[in-house]
């Protein structure tokens, strides 16, 4: 047996002992700080593959915010405008390209990213470390760390923040194994990587697929490759804005991801950005308050607790105001890890501004799904590659 590493515990604290190892040679990871657990390593190894593939395909720094073996957010480095800087709570901070990618990944779904595992495609610099330092996070994996960045990160969680460095040149064996209930299964590792070459088979009347849409579809599909299936992903301007993961129904994936995308849009509404928070309210408390602000109704007890977070009573957005704001966002990309069995997912996607769709195809009702896209003027690409992940 090759090198091994003792873990803090297994999937739950009572599952001890726990360890990770390779069959031959050395582990590709090195723990620089803290002691990871079983789920930490699952998040780390899955999220690293995601950002590595984005970096290789798009040649841009990439970041992912992982929770429970699925991404809450993923992004490549696209500069932030003033609105997103405010919505992502970064203000006038200095942001390197890698920091911009992480700000976007963390900002995709701040509620779900609470206590995340961070994956970064490039060596971590000080601006990125400063961003991570301010967030509630369990750990980080990257191919390297600048000395100042490492010093910053080692201060988190009372010195116990989990910092993992991975060999960027490591390639795993082609055959991967998994043991479940004492039974070992093996399969060829999923080496399919989405690239611009996968978007040649456009099946809709609208054939216009700009470079920005190809980039966003690649972000969506590579994200889906490391998302627990069934899964659907909405992407926009180089980042994920909504992930629907682990649902048994395709339409439920689409609704869940679409709801998260709508929340992402609404967090940029002027009335949300101007909420009168009480001084010294923590970042997670602000995130939860915004989430409740965007709900249509709270119970009396919830309402009373919520109002304590403000210096004045906020004026809620009406359903009509929400829809009017969301309708301003167009050109959204949507990826699906498997085919759409019905047109209902296309109908729901339209409500959140989707214009570009990528899916494997192969359903008995492909023609009905294509027809729905044509009705809305969408562009649909059939990739012929399913991306299930379990």
Catalytic residue ranges: 67-68, 230, 390
* C-alpha separations of 18 from 9, 116, 138, 166 in Å: 5, 21, 18, 20
Q: What is the CA angle 315-237-332, rounded to 5?
A: 75
Residue 341, both tokens: 């069995």
Q: Strand pairing of 4-6 and 332-336? A: unpaired
Chain-centroid distance of CA 181 in Å reads: 30
Q: Rounded CA gap, 130 and 125, in Å?
A: 9
Please check whether residue 55 is in contact with residue 65, taking contact to mean a CB–CB distance below 8 angstroms.
no
DSSP H helix total and E strand total for the chain: 13, 15
Residue 150, both tokens: 């490492």
Residue 385, both tokens: 């590659």
Q: Where are the alpha helices (DSSP H) in 68-182?
A: 82-87, 97-107, 126-134, 147-153
For residue 164, list its beta bridge partners: 31, 141
């Amino acid at each position: 047996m090759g090198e091994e590493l003792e873990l803090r515990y297994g999937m739950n604290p009572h599952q001890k002992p726990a360890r990770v190892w390779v069959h031959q040679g050395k582990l590709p990871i090195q723990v620089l700080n803290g002691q990871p657990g079983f789920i930490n390593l699952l998040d780390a190894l899955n999220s690293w593959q995601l950002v590595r593939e984005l970096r290789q395909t798009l040649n841009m720094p990439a970041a992912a915010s992982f929770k429970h073996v699925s991404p809450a957010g993923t992004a490549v480095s696209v500069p932030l405008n003033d609105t997103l800087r405010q919505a992502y709570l970064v203000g006038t901070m200095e942001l390197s390209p890698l920091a911009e990618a992480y700000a976007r990944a963390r900002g995709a779904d701040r509620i779900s990213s609470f206590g995340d595992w961070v994956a970064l495609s490039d060596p971590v610099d000080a601006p990125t470390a400063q961003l991570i330092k301010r967030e509630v996070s369990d750990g980080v994996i990257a191919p390297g760390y600048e000395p100042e960045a490492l010093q910053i990160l080692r201060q988190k969680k009372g010195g116990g923040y989990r910092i993992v460095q991975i060999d960027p040149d490591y390639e795993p064996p082609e055959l991967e194994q998994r043991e479940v209930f004492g039974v070992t299964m093996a399969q060829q590792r999923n080496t399919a990587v989405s690239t611009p070459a996968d978007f040649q088979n456009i099946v809709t009347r609208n054939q216009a697929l700009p470079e920005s849409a190809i980039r966003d579809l690649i972000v969506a599909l590579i994200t889906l490759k490391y998302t627990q299936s069934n899964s659907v992903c909405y992407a926009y301007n180089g980042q994920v804005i909504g992930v629907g993961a682990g649902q048994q129904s395709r339409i439920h994936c689409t609704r869940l991801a679409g709801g998260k995308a709508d929340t992402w849009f609404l967090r940029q509404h002027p009335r949300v950005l101007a909420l009168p928070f009480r001084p010294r309210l923590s970042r997670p408390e602000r995130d939860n308050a915004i989430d409740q602000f965007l709900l249509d109704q709270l119970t009396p007890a919830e309402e009373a607790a919520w109002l304590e977070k403000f210096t004045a009573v906020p004026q809620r957005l009406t359903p009509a105001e929400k829809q009017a704001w969301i309708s301003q966002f167009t050109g959204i990309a949507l990826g699906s890890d498997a085919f759409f069995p019905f047109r209902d997912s296309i109908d729901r996607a339209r409500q959140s501004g989707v214009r570009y769709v990528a899916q494997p195809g192969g359903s008995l009702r492909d023609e009905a799904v294509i027809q729905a896209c044509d009705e809305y003027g969408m562009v649909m690409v059939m990739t012929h590659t399913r991306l299930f992940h379990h």
